[in-house]
């Protein structure tokens, strides 16, 4: 049986998950990624685990990105739009823009707004 090398390159799915979460965290108002109460916002592959984002294959070679985030108390629809725009820009600059499918953003928690209520904001693609 072949062993996985700790230095094996990440899959396209894991790379897109990492890029998406990093892009989201760069948007002012986003505090962190969050796996959610059911632990669904996770992307794993090989030896890598990215918490706060689930990336899944779509038809046609694209990947959907479903983020689970914690945010400051701001206008959440506008924040979700800014996150989507940042991810699309980052994916384009990295050469992964043609792999990017639908981007969904869910806010699992909002700072100073009462802990733990989910606020889902739908797809921008």
Q: How many CA atoms lie within 13 A of 4 on its CB side?
A: 8
Q: What is the pLDDT of residues 73-91, one digit of tens each?
A: 999 999 999 999 999 999 9
- Residue 1 domain-assigned? no
Report the alpha-carbon distance of residue 28 to residue 95 in Å, rounded: 24
User: What is the number of domains present in the chain?
Assistant: 1
pLDDT tens profile 5-59:
456 678 999 999 999 999 999 999 999 999 999 999 999 988 889 999 999 999 9
Determine the Cα–Cα distance for residues 66 and 76; give it in Å rounded to an integer.
Answer: 16
Whether the Cβ atoms of residue 39 and residue 79 lie closer than 8 Å to each other: no
Phi then psi dihedrals of residue 59, to 5 deg: -60, 150
Global pTM reads 0.82
- Does residue 5 belong to any structural domain of this protein? no
> Nearest-CA neighbor of 66 among 12, 13, 117, 113?
13
CATH of the domain at 80: 3.30.70.1350
């Amino acid at each position: 049986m072949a062993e996985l090398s700790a230095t094996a390159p990440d899959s396209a799915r894991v790379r897109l998950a990492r890029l998406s979460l990093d892009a989201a965290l760069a948007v002012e108002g986003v505090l962190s990624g969050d796996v959610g109460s059911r632990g669904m916002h996770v992307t794993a592959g090989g030896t890598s685990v990215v918490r706060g984002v689930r990336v899944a294959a779509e038809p046609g070679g694209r990947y959907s990105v479903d983020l689970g985030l914690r945010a400051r108390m701001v206008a959440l629809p506008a924040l979700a739009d800014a996150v989507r725009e940042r991810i699309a820009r980052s994916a384009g600059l990295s050469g992964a823009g043609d792999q990017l499918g639908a981007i969904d953003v869910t806010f699992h928690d909002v700072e100073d707004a009462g802990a733990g209520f989910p606020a889902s904001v739908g797809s921008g693609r």
